[in-house]
Amino acid sequence: MTPLKLYLVRAVYDWAVENGHTPHLIVDASQPGVRVPSSSVQDGKIVLNIAPQAVQVFALDDQSVRFSARFGGKPFNIECPIAAVRAIYARENGQGVAFPENEEPAAPDPQSSAPTTAPRKGPVLRRIK
């Protein structure tokens, strides 16, 4: 199942851009798979301006946010798994969504995956005299 977080990130991004605001991501830079310039990381997090005019080749898919941006005048390819996103908000008014830091995927319910009764083999016919 696709995580709800992905849909919320997309929704806030679209809302901010459509209303002329500047969407920003807060990313946990210590998470596996995060590729950001280490010089811009503060307290293990980085704030990224993801406005269309600030980035190139922006892609938001089911697994990650990827784009190219300049840091200190040098181009850098950014990759942030959706699990590493801690917040998305509009810079102008601060409205957006924050996500819990210790977020873990929900474990499947062990009782729902195992059938409680033995599967039936099929219909049985009997001869009645």
Distance separating alpha carbons of residues 78 and 70, to the nearest angstrom: 10
Report pLDDT digits (tens) over 49-98: 999 999 999 999 999 999 999 998 899 999 999 999 999 999 999 999 99
Q: What is the pTM of this model?
A: 0.76
What is the per-residue pLDDT across 76-86, written as a single tens digit (0 to 9) for each?
999 999 999 99
Query: Under DSSP, is residue 67 helix (H, G, I), strand (E, B) or coil?
Result: strand
Task: Specify whether the CB–CB gap between 51 and 22 falls below 8 A.
Answer: yes
* 88 DSSP β-pair partners: 25, 97
d(CA 95, CA 13): 11
Question: Does the pLDDT of residue 23 top 60, yes or no?
Answer: yes
Output phi, psi for 84, to 5 deg: -85, -10
Residue 50's pLDDT is what?
96
Q: Which sequence spans correspond to the domains of the chain?
A: 4-100
The domain made up of 4-100 is a member of CATH 3.40.50.720: no
Mean pLDDT of the chain: 87
